Structure formats: C-alpha cells, structure tokens
Amino acid sequence: MEQSTLGERRKPAVFITGAGGEVGHGLISSLSREGNLDIVATDLRDVEQTLREQCSETYLADVCDRDALDRLLAMYQVKEIYHLAAVLSTRAELAPEVAHQVNVNGTVNILQIAAEQGRMYGEPVKVVFPSSIAAYGFGSLTQKTEVGAVSEYEHCKPSTMYGCNKLYCEHLGRYYAHSYRQLAQDSVQGKDKNRGVVDFRCVRYPGLISAETVPTGGTSDFVPEMIHAAARGEKYKCFVREDTRIPFMTMPEAIDATLQLAAASRHDLTQIVYNIASFSPSAGEVAQLVKTYFPGADITFEPDERRQAIVDSWPEFLDCSVATNDWGFKPTYTLEQAFEDYLVPRIIKQYESIL
C-alpha cells in the first residue's frame, strides 16, 4: 500500500463530490449500508449531521480547487469516485460561465485525479458520472413528439449550458478511459501506463423524484415540487403546460441503478453512457394523481415560456434497452406504484412531524 504525504498508509476509499445534494443523500445511505469502503465525501457547503455520520470523513471543498482536492486525497487510495457536484439546468442558465467552470472544469479535475491514482496503484479507478436527459435536444415540440423514445446516441443537440456540459463530460470520460495521453512518451514506448487507468461509467438520469428532499435549480423540478407542495398543504403554480411530458424515476430507483452500473463487470458493458428511466407522465397526469392522494391540493398551470422551452427540448421517452441488456436495469415502479408504495407514505411520514 502507498504511503500518504504524511507517511501514513493510504486508506482505500470511495470518494463522493456534491455529497450534500439530492443524489448524495441516497447514495451515501446505500454505500454506508454496503460498508465495503470508507466513504470520503465533499461538498461546497456543510454536509448535514445525519450524512456526516455515515461517512468516514467529510470535507468542505470545491471541485474546481484542484490543490484542495489533492491535499485531502493525499491520505487515500481512491478506488471509486461518484462525481455528483454540478450546477443544474435552470441555475446554469442564470450564470452559464460559472456552470461551465463547475460542470466541466470540476469534472476534468476529477478525471485527472482518477487517472493519477489509477497510474499510481496500477489498477483502474472507477468514475461513476450522472449525466442527464438534458444531453438531448429537439429543435421543435413536433419533432420531440414524433420521435418518441430516444436511444443514447441520437438527438444529442442540447440547448442548455448544463446539457452541453453533461454531453461534453461524457465524451471527456470516454477520452480518459480509452485515449488519455495517447501520444505521451510513456504511452508510445510499449508500456502504456495510461490506458485503462480510468473506468468511466455514466447514467443519463431523467427527472428524479425523492420523498425526502426537494430539488433546487433544475428544470424537471415541477414534478417533485408539485408533490411536496401538496403534502405541505401549499398552493403550487406549475411552470410548464399540463401536456408536458418527460421521463422520470424515483430517487431510490436512480440510486439502485447507479450502484448496479458501478458493480457491473467491465466486460458486460458495451457503452460508456446508459439511459435509465421508469415512467413518462405528463404534468397534468401527475397533478391528477397528486389530487387523489391529497384531495385539497391546489395546483394551477402557469407556464413560464423560457423554462417550458427547455423542457420541450428534452425527450418524452428514453430507450433503456441497452442498460437492461448490459447490466440488468429494470424500473421498480410504474408512476402509480411510485405514489402508492414510496412517495405518499414517505412524504406523509416526513411532514407529519413538522406540520
């Protein structure tokens, strides 16, 4: 085992960025239940106490600050990285260059760290990267509805900074996995120390719905916002039309699928990027279901033209067949089951202590 800069043995660890976000919450709970490796988690903001307790260490760190990342990782042998830190689609349109800095430069830092650690230990570092349906882009609503389900490599013309960032980082991940420093001296002299040092795997998430947390800064937020507002007894003005349809899944399904991809044998993976999703309801269909469980729900539709245009550029349905064939992806819930078995019981329990 390598020595750290402090002369101690480096501890094998799984490293999580953006740990305090919605996906981080679920992922840390699942990884800590598995208990295979020490969890080292970072975020820009303080990570809440319940999450901290499930990690070996948590640090305040910016993924754009390469020196800070190097300092804290000097104590660890990083085996796997879940790179969750990102500025989401709505927030990214308010500060596109900041989003680029975090979403792209932060990802390059993570990929470089993975490559360095992979070379140092002579074994690949797994980098699991959540991409998004924002990587797609349709020119018109007519095209979106005509096309129906999309597979991973078609209609990738994102119209948002976030979508461009995600798509580009998918390509960067492929580059670090297969072609990193392909002309460097240590690559051309027969012993290719760079090849295979990064094992990059990527899921394209649809909109995610958690019973525990409410997202901020995304454009698919209308569904989770609508459900949580009803559970809190608050009015909700939905910022897209009733007929707006994009794919969604629940947070536990997203976490399970992410861990399933991470655990898959390299040999079974025929792609770097995989679509995953469970159901594709319209905003109106979600509102109807919300009203059956929360009869007092007050939901109105007041589309915001610009956010609507973003959602209209995303597909209605995803073709997830390659994820199913390669590593066994299977949705747990239909929309109705998600409400009945997961969302409603958990949300009611969560708010009953507060309301």
Task: Tell me how far, at minimum, the Cβ of 92 lies from ligand AKB, in Å.
Answer: 8
Work out whether 134 is an interface residue with ligand AKB (CB under 6 A): yes
Rounded to 5°, the CA angle 84-266-254 comes to: 35
Task: Tell me how far, at minimum, the Cβ of 56 lies from ligand AKB, in Å.
Answer: 29
CA atoms lying within 13 Å on the CB side of residue 57: 14
Task: Tell me how far, at minimum, the Cβ of 241 lies from ligand AKB, in Å.
Answer: 16
Q: What residue number has its CB nearest to ligand AKB?
A: 218
Work out whether 180 is an interface residue with ligand AKB (CB under 6 A): no
Rounded Cα distance between 32 and 114, Å, is 22
Rounded Cα distance between 278 and 201, Å, is 20
Site size for ligand AKB (CB under 6 A) = 11
Rounded Cα distance between 232 and 321, Å, is 37
Between 85 and 88, name the residue whose CB sits nearer to ligand AKB.
88
Work out whether 158 is an interface residue with ligand AKB (CB under 6 A): no
Binding to ligand AKB by CB under 6 A, coded x per residue (else -) over 182-211, reads -----------------------x-x----
Task: Tell me how far, at minimum, the Cβ of 179 lies from ligand AKB, in Å.
Answer: 27
Task: Tell me how far, at minimum, the Cβ of 160 lies from ligand AKB, in Å.
Answer: 8
Rounded Cα distance between 57 and 201, Å, is 24
The DSSP 8-state label assigned to residue 217 in this structure reads: S
Is 158:166 a contact under the CB 8 Å cutoff?
Answer: yes
Sign of CA dihedral 117, 118, 119, 122: positive
User: What part of residues 11-40 is at the interface with ligand AKB (CB under 6 A)?
Assistant: none
Task: Tell me how far, at minimum, the Cβ of 163 lies from ligand AKB, in Å.
Answer: 8
Cα 197 versus chain centre, distance: 22
Work out whether 132 is an interface residue with ligand AKB (CB under 6 A): yes
Of 42, 219, 244, 278, which one interacts with ligand AKB (CB under 6 A)? 219
Of 69, 133, 211, 286, which one interacts with ligand AKB (CB under 6 A)? 133
Rounded to 5°, the CA angle 307-312-314 comes to: 105
Work out whether 162 is an interface residue with ligand AKB (CB under 6 A): yes
Q: Which residues neighbour 286 within 8 Å (Cβ) at sequence distance 6 or greater?
A: 223, 226, 227, 335
What is the binding site for ligand AKB (CB under 6 A)? Answer: 88-89, 132-134, 162, 205, 207, 218-220
